[in-house]
Amino acid sequence: MALNVVMLGPPGAGKGTQAERFARTHGVPKISTGDILRDSVNTGTELGRLARKTMDAGELVGDDVMIGIVGERLERPDTRAGFVLDGFPRTVPQATALDTIMKGRGPLVVVDIVVPEDVLLRRLAARRICGTCGVNALIEWTAACGICGGALVTRTDDGVEIVRGRLKVYHHSTRPIVEFYSGRPTFRVIDGNQPPDVVTSSMDRAICEASSAHGSTKEVRL
């Protein structure tokens, strides 16, 4: 059975790190909307050209374009055994479209990583990125970027007030996605305020259980 996973959680919850670990362990692609958006723009696809035009104008890429780009990515052969989506869906229309894309592809497991706001603020203040390629540093990267070898630096947009603003935006715009999914038997809530390895183990158990769930349990906290 394919392992189709959507990762949810606020900035600093660790969803990128956990998505990367799960994808590597289970041999499925981690699909970050930022990565596939850049890929579509760089390869000059029709949707990529539309996205570039929008971004060049300083505007957010709309639902239709994002849905199209993600839909194209999920058609690639490497997703047949499953995938981990990080950063999509971000709106209810995107979530509704993903349901349509997923018809006939097996269950969609949705994992929401929850972390108290004070912990998020501390994490984000200490978060680092690669100064060369810009990717967020994984916890296990202690000295250099694990992708390109570049030096790790502190993000300039992780000041306390900026972070508080980003969390407010998240709760306003993205929490409705949690409400959209929370009644499903394949929805799971994970306590992200634990050591990363504990979160990884909890997530593995939750996803494997939820992928074969047929009951009506609203959520399981691990």
CATH number for the domain harbouring residue 31: 3.40.50.300
Residue 61, phi then psi, degrees to nearest 5: -70, 130
- Residue 56: per-residue pLDDT: 67
> By residue range, what is the domain housing residue 199?
3-117+183-211
Question: What does the alpha-carbon distance between residue 178 and residue 115 come to, in Å, rounded to a whole number?
Answer: 14
HEC-encoded secondary structure of 147-165? CCCCEEEECCCCCHHHHHH
Binned at pLDDT 50, 70 and 90, residue 78 comes out as very high
- Asked if residue 163 belongs to a domain, the reply is no
- Residue 57: per-residue pLDDT: 65
123 an active-site residue?
no
pLDDT tens column, 84-127: 999 899 889 999 999 999 998 889 999 999 999 889 888 887 77
- Asked if residue 130 belongs to a domain, the reply is no
CB contact at 8 A, 114 and 12: no
Candidates 15, 21, 73, 123; catalytic one? 15
49 an active-site residue?
no
Q: What is the CA radius of gyration of the chain?
A: 17
103 an active-site residue?
no
- Asked if residue 193 belongs to a domain, the reply is yes
> What DSSP character marks residue 102?
T
Q: How many domains does the chain fold into?
A: 1
15 an active-site residue?
yes
Which pair of tokens denotes residue 24?
């590597």
Q: Model pTM?
A: 0.78
CB contact at 8 A, 139 and 156: no
Above 90 in pLDDT, residue 138? no
